[in-house]
């Protein structure tokens, strides 16, 4: 046992001396060596069931042969290219494919970058230029990236230290469990937060006639896996239409099948003027996209990255879409998400720490509270729980504005047996944390977020 621990520990100590803290959010001492399907293997050969999907990236599971083959063939054919100056056909194929997937009866185009951040940065630049309106509205708790433009759109504590973005007004996200206006339910609510948006944001600080777009996640992920009430997005669309404001969805984490529909916003039946995609789009390689109205993407300026849309990530992206379609992963996300949600709800009924369980397909959140009546957040228990899961062979992280929501975003290839395996470990880890006696000294080196 002692030898097993040393290998990972040694690698982590070397990393600690060499790798900047500003790119780390760490929850436990894990050093990855390889990955296959739903499993990650650490530096000591120990296997873990990965319920993070690397932050909602590994849609087709790790090392899917079709994605791997597409990557290898693309490397052999042309290992790089600068799309901004030299056309290559695979980028056109992927652009056509994404435009065809996006609902809406209007002319569309696609743009390519490398990360979710740069896609949202592109939006932040283009929306005011395309509309002649200077301001944007987004939501408290939204995470849109760490470049200046995408951080300005964000309302998450991770970007709280960033200065700028005075032209972006942040409004409350509808959170049925922590509704400011209450009572609020998942099926429908009073829409008091939209009244706030219209009256105070668009009526005063961000005048409607000077507001280009409202940018939103259809399920708020890093903000705590919050699923808005069913009547919210249709009402938001109606409000946008009334004021001539575009409605733009950040689908970087919840798009490409994760919620049980290809785009997360589709469940609500509304149409998006544009979406951003990233994370799973490149099958694990850096690729992002903005897909939306032609007049947004043909604005007379530049928003480009030398490696945006280069051949290898694009080939991986086309293969990823093929696998999602051929293996019915959108339907699997819906079915496995339901199984996971029901299992978690049953566990919650036997637990004193779980205040809420929620999700849409394979993005789920388990919110931990110190008291189920006052709903006081329990972030330390969330950290203990993900650490205990790690000790028992499951990778998970926590999220949310209070740092108390266990986030589950596994690969969409997860099977019923793997869901059940996870539920068994989760119930045991939760019971261990609830029993008390967890050694908090183990958490000290891991600040999480």
Q: Can you give the binding site for ligand PMP, defined by CB under 6 A?
A: 55, 115-117, 120, 143-145, 217, 221-222, 250, 252-253, 278-279
| Closest to 56 (Cα-Cα) out of 281, 243, 269 | 281
Nearer residue to ligand PMP within complex by CB, 255 or 260: 255
Q: How far is the CB of 256 from ligand PMP (least distance, A)?
A: 12
Q: In the bound complex, which residue of the shown chain has the CB atom lying closest to ligand PMP?
A: 116
Q: In the block, which residue shows the tokens 């993005």? A: 363
Q: By the 8 A CB rule, do 214 and 248 touch?
A: yes
Q: Which two tokens stand for residue 110?
A: 């696609």
Nearer residue to ligand PMP within complex by CB, 143 or 305: 143
Nearer residue to ligand PMP within complex by CB, 110 or 429: 110
Q: How far is the CB of 252 from ligand PMP (least distance, A)?
A: 4
Q: How far is the CB of 239 from ligand PMP (least distance, A)?
A: 22
Q: Is 143 a catalytic residue?
A: yes
Nearer residue to ligand PMP within complex by CB, 38 or 397: 397
Nearer residue to ligand PMP within complex by CB, 91 or 123: 123
Nearer residue to ligand PMP within complex by CB, 272 or 369: 272
Q: How far is the CB of 141 from ligand PMP (least distance, A)?
A: 11
Q: How far is the CB of 376 from ligand PMP (least distance, A)?
A: 26
Q: How far is the CB of 77 from ligand PMP (least distance, A)?
A: 26
Q: How far is the CB of 279 from ligand PMP (least distance, A)?
A: 6
Q: By the 8 A CB rule, do 426 and 344 touch?
A: yes
Nearer residue to ligand PMP within complex by CB, 228 or 343: 228
SS3 annotation, the chain = CHHHHHHHHHHHHHHHHHCCHHHCCCCCCCCEEEEEECEEEECCCCEEEECCHHHHCCCCCECCHHHHHHHHHHHHHCCCCCCCCCCCHHHHHHHHHHHHHCCCCCCEEEEEECCHHHHHHHHHHHHHHHHCCCEEEEECCCCCCCCHHHHHHCCCHHHCCCCCCCCEEEECCCCHHHCCCCCECCCCECCHHHHHHHHHHHHHHCCHHHEEEEEECCCECCCCCECCCCCHHHHHHHHHHHHCCEEEEECCCCCCCCCCCCCHHHHHCCCCCEEEECHHHHCCCCCEEEEEEHHHHCCCCCCCCCCCCCHHHHHHHHHHHHHHHHCCHHHHHHHHHHHHHHHHHHHHHCCCCEEEEEEECCEEEEEEEEECCCCEECHHHHHHHHHHHHHCCEECEEECCCCCEEEECCCCCCCHHHHHHHHHHHHHHHHHHHHCCCCHHHHCCCCCC
Marked catalytic residue, from 48, 62, 143, 398: 143
Nearer residue to ligand PMP within complex by CB, 8 or 221: 221
Q: How far is the CB of 219 from ligand PMP (least distance, A)?
A: 9
Beta carbons within 10 angstroms of residue 178's beta carbon: 20
Which residues are known catalytic residues? 143
């Amino acid at each position: 046992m002692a030898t097993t621990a040393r290998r990972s520990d040694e690698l982590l100590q070397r990393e600690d001396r060499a790798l900047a803290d500003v790119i780390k959010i760490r929850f436990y001492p894990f050093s990855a060596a390889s990955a296959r399907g739903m499993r990650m293997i650490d530096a000591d050969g120990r296997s873990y069931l990965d319920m993070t999907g690397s932050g909602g990236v590994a849609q087709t599971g790790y090392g899917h042969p079709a994605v791997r083959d597409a990557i290898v063939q693309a490397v052999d054919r042309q290992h790089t290219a600068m799309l901004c100056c030299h056309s290559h056909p695979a980028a056109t194929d992927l652009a056509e494919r994404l435009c065809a997937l996006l609902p809406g009866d209007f002319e569309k185009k696609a743009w390519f970058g490398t990360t979710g951040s740069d896609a949202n940065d592109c939006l932040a630049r283009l929306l005011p230029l395309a509309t002649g309106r200077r301001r944007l509205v987004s939501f408290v708790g939204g995470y849109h990236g760490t470049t200046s433009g995408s951080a300005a759109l964000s309302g998450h504590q991770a970007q709280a230290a960033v200065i700028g973005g005075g032209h972006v007004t942040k409004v409350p996200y509808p959170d049925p469990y922590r509704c400011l206006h209450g009572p609020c339910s998942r099926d429908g609510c009073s829409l008091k937060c939209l009244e706030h948006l219209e009256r105070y944001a668009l009526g005063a600080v961000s005048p409607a006639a000077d507001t280009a777009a409202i940018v939103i996640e259809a399920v708020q992920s890093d903000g705590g896996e919050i699923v808005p009430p069913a009547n919210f997005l249709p009402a938001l669309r109606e409000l946008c239409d009334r004021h001539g404001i575009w409605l733009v969805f950040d689908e970087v984490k919840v798009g490409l099948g994760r919620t049980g529909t290809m785009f997360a916003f589709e469940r609500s039946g509304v149409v998006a003027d544009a979406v951003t995609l990233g994370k799973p789009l490149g099958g694990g390689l850096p690729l992002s996209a903005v897909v939306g109205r032609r007049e947004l993407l043909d604005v007379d300026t530049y928003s480009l990255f030398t490696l945006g849309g280069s051949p290898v990530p694009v080939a991986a992206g086309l293969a990823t879409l093929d696998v999602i379609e051929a293996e019915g992963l959108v339907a699997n996300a819906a079915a496995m998400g339901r199984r996971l949600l029901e299992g978690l709800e049953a566990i919650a009924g036997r637990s004193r720490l779980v205040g809420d369980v929620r999700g849409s397909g394979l993005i789920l959140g388990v919110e931990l509270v110190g008291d189920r009546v006052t709903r006081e957040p329990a972030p330390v228990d969330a950290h203990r729980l993900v650490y205990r899961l790690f000790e028992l062979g499951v990778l998970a992280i926590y999220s949310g504005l209070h740092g108390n929501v266990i986030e589950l975003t596994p690969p969409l290839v997860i099977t019923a047996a793997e869901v059940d395996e996870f539920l068994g470990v989760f119930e045991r880890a939760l019971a261990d944390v609830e029993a008390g006696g967890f050694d908090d000294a183990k958490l000290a080196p891991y600040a999480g977020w």
